[in-house]
Amino acid sequence: MNILVTSAGRRVKIIEYFKDVVEKEQGKVITTDCDAHAPAIYFSDDYEIVPCIDEPNYINIILEICKKHDINAIISLIDPELEILASNKNLFDNHNIQLILSPKDMVDISFDKLKTYKYLKNKEVPSVPTYDNLDEVKDLLKSNKLSYPLVVKPAKGSASIGLYIVSNESELNEAFYKLEGQIIQPFYKDKEFGIDVYIDMVNGELVDLFIKEKIKMRAGETDKSISTHSEKIEELIKKMIEKTNFIGPIDIDCFEFNGEYFISEINPRFGGGYPHAYELGCNFMEYIVTNLKNEENETYKTYKYKAEIVMMKYDHLKLIKEK
C-alpha cells in the first residue's frame, strides 16, 4: 500500500506517523511539494517536486507521479488543494486511486466561512455568526445585537492571513475594505479549542475525536495546547457529524463564549495540532489504512486519551545535500 502526501510542507510529524503505519503494510509514503526546501519531503520514502497547484497541468502531473510510484491513495495537507483534488475524484477513481478526502460539496462549504456558517445554521448546529454585509453589521451594532471587538477576515482565508480584530467603526471600515471577500464575526474567544476528528470512510460513523484547548497560536497553527475532556464539545461534534457528510480526518475550530460552544471552522484535512492527538493515542493513520482495505473501524465510544497533557512544539534541523 503506497500513499502520496501532497503539499507536504513542514508537516514532518504527519509523514513520520504515516510511515510507521504504512511500513507495516510493506508500503511506502511518497511526498510532493512545489518547494524543494519543504522539510517534510525529506522524511518520506521518496519525493517529487511539482509545480504550484494553480498550474493548469497540475492534476496530470500528480497522476503521472501516482503511476510512477504505484500509488493507492492520496491525501493533501493544505486547504487550496482540497477542492482541486475533490473536483477530479472521478479521474483518480478511474485509475483505482482513492482520495482520503470528504465529498466535494463538503469541501466547497468548508473552504468558505460564510457558507460554513449558513450551512451549519440550517442544520441547527451552533456556529459563530458570520456576516458579509457591512451595513447589516452596523445596524446590529446600533441595536446592541453585536458589540466590539469584532473579527474581520477573508471568507476563504487560512493561516490567520488577513485577520483583524477591530474595536471601533473606523477600524471596522478600514479592515473590511482591505481585501475582497471579507467577513465579520463577533469575537467569541473566552476559550478556543481545536478538535481532531476521524470519520470512517466506509460507513460514515465517528471513529475518534481529540479535544485540545489552544494555549498559543503561531501563523494560524496551534503551537501549544492542553488535552481536554468536554461533554458539551463532544456532543456538539457528534451533532455536526450526524448532520453532515464529512469523512476521513477533520480539523475543527470551536470557541467557548458565555459557557456555550460554537463551531468556527471545519477543515477536511489534518490540522497543524494533530500531533498532540497522535502522541496521546489517537492514531488516525491506522484508521486510514483500515479504510483503504475497505474495512470499517470500530465506532467511537469514549475518549482514548488522558486530559491535561500539554503539547509544546519546538524547532529542529535537518541538513540535506542539494541535488
Q: How far apart are CA 109 and CA 103, in angstroms?
A: 10
The H-or-E segment that residue 202 falls in is: none
Structural domain of 166: 129-186
Q: How far apart are CA 111 and CA 156, in angstroms?
A: 6
Is position 106 within any domain?
no
Residue 305, classed as helix, strand or coil, is coil
What pLDDT, on a 0 to 100 scale, did the predictor assign at position 158? Answer: 66
Check whether residue 291 and residue 214 sit in a common domain: yes
User: Are the C-beta atoms of residues 275 and 311 closer than 8 Å to each other?
Assistant: yes
Is position 323 within any domain?
no
What pLDDT, on a 0 to 100 scale, did the predictor assign at position 313? Answer: 74
Q: In what order do the strands lie in the sheet with 164-166?
A: 164-166, 150-154, 182-186
| Chain mean pLDDT for the chain | 93
Q: How far apart are CA 27 and CA 40, in angstroms?
A: 18
Question: The domain that contains 94 carries what CATH number?
Answer: 3.40.50.20
pLDDT tens readout for residues 29-62: 999 999 999 999 999 999 999 999 999 999 999 9
Fill in the amino acid letter for 199: I
- Does the pLDDT value for residue 278 go beyond 80? yes
**What sign results for the dihedral spanned by CA atoms 95, 96, 102, 103?**
positive
Q: Give the global pTM.
A: 0.92
Is position 287 within any domain?
yes
**Boundary (domain end) residue, out of 65, 84, 101:** 101
The number of domains in the chain is 3
What pLDDT, on a 0 to 100 scale, did the predictor assign at position 192? Answer: 92
pLDDT tens readout for residues 192-216: 999 999 999 999 999 999 999 998 7
What pLDDT, on a 0 to 100 scale, did the predictor assign at position 217? Answer: 66
Query: CA 94 → CA 91, 124, 309, distances in Å?
Result: 5, 37, 44
